[in-house]
Amino acid sequence: MSELCKYCGREYRDARSLLINSCSANPNGRNHELFEGDKNGPFLCVHCGRAYRDLRSLVINSCSSNPNGRNHEPFEGNPNGPFVCKFCGREYRDLRSLVINSCSRNPERGGHHSPTR
């Protein structure tokens, strides 16, 4: 079974091979990190809910909803939902609906809902 890096989307044959190699896309300037979500896709952005067919396409494109002003970041939970806010517990059918709506209990991210894994 192959493994994917959550920062660059690169595929390795096993977790050990992935974790020992450096990743230029890692914001911490370190090695690749294991993507723990569904490897079959779709791959969803945790900030805007946009879906991509492959992880690499997701992580190389910029995301206007990312509070750090960077690229899309992958959602590592079940891509089929349900999607639940980690601050208030409200449930949505799709990730995009969750992340674009305001959450009065979220102290960060401009007050929007933030998904649990």
The alpha helices in the chain, defined as continuous H runs, are 15-20, 55-60, 95-100
0.85 surpassed by pTM: yes
Instruction: Give the model's pLDDT for residue 12.
Output: 96
Q: ω into residue 115 within 30 of 0, thus cis?
A: no
93/26 Cα distance (integer angstroms): 30
- The radius of gyration computed from the CA coordinates of the chain, to the nearest angstrom, equals 14
pLDDT of residue 117: 78
**Model confidence pLDDT, tens digit, residues 48-61:** 999 999 999 999 99
What pLDDT band is residue 26 in, cutting at 50, 70 and 90? very high
The contacts of residue 88 (CB under 8 Å, 6+ apart) are 103, 104, 105, 106, 113
